[in-house]
């Protein structure tokens, strides 16, 4: 686990941040107006892009890097 991958999309960063807040898939889907299936697809893509093994590692990664994720989202939103 290292610093945040610069190839993540805004949506992936949003989902990663919500994961860092321990939100469930259904909560993430509702907040971002997505289907549960779409959230699952984004999570699978995140696992691949971040070279993680599973959802547990994704959650740990998101929590560990939550401040950096939040910072990147703020930079994107301010553009």
Nearest to 38 by CA among 12, 77, 66: 12
Mark the ranges of the chain whose per-residue pLDDT is less than 70.
1-3
What pLDDT, on a 0 to 100 scale, did the predictor assign at position 36?
96
What pLDDT, on a 0 to 100 scale, did the predictor assign at position 79?
75
Distances (CA, A) of 7 to 13, 31, 48: 10, 23, 12
Give all domains of the chain, ordered by start, each with its CATH number.
10-78 (1.10.10.10)
What pLDDT, on a 0 to 100 scale, did the predictor assign at position 24?
97
What pLDDT, on a 0 to 100 scale, did the predictor assign at position 3?
63
What pLDDT, on a 0 to 100 scale, did the predictor assign at position 78?
87
What pLDDT, on a 0 to 100 scale, did the predictor assign at position 77?
84
């Amino acid at each position: 686990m290292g610093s945040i991958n610069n190839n993540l999309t805004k949506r992936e960063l949003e989902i990663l941040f919500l994961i860092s807040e321990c939100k469930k898939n259904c909560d993430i889907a509702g907040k971002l107006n997505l289907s549960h299936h779409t959230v699952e697809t984004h999570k699978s893509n995140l696992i691949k892009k971040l070279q993680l093994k599973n959802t547990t590692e994704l959650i740990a990664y998101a929590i560990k890097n939550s401040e950096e994720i939040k910072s990147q989202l703020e930079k994107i939103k301010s553009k």
